[in-house]
Amino acid sequence: MTSNRTMLILAYFFSTNLRSTQPTFISTSLETAMAKKFWMAFIAVFVTAIVLDMVIYNLILGSAFKSLTVWRPDQDSLWWIYPIISFVGSFFFTLIFSKGYEGKGIAEGIRYGLYIGIWLSIGMAYGTYGMVAMPYGLTLEWFLLGVVTYIVMGIVAALVYGKKPAPAA
């Protein structure tokens, strides 16, 4: 199921605009500006994700997670994977935001972050709860902090993209 979803996202991203006779490698100034905004938003979202992950997993939930006895013995040697996960996740988070961008400002970022946050955090927190002996309170806290993280990431993306100007009368 996940691979089908990934293939659909990739197909959409790399597809051409069928209504346009212009080849996709020729860009207009608006497309160039939007591409610059995408890369700026991606970098800002990635940095935000890294900072929030450090705060949440080291300061807020760190002691609770360390008290669990379910972790891999070689876990410390695998920390390199988390920045890669944040990098890829931030890329697709920003990509999907950019495809649905309506220019409504921070409210749009909050709404997008809330939707994505609930979708991804419920699987992470409650999926782990179903497999690992962890207290329900930790699961709920993990879920809520995940949703807040995605809301903040949505706000950051919306701030970079900004509001679309009102049409001239």
Q: CA-CA distance, 149 to 65, in Å (whole number)? A: 18
CA torsion sign for 58, 61, 63, 64 is negative
What are the residue ranges spanned by the domains of the chain? Answer: 36-161
Give the per-residue pLDDT at 27. Answer: 57
Specify burial of residue 15 (Cβ count, 10 A radius: 0-12, 13-18, 19+): exposed
The rounded Cα 50 to chain-centroid distance in angstroms is: 11
pTM over 0.95: no
Q: What is the pLDDT of residues 103-155, one digit of tens each?
A: 899 999 999 999 999 999 999 999 989 988 888 998 999 999 999 999 999 99
Per-position b or e across 102-130, b if 16+ CB within 10 A of its CB: eeeeeebbbebbeebbeebbeeebeebbe
> Which tens digits make up the pLDDT trace of 90-111?
999 999 999 999 989 999 999 9
Other beta carbons less than 10 A from residue 50's beta carbon: 15
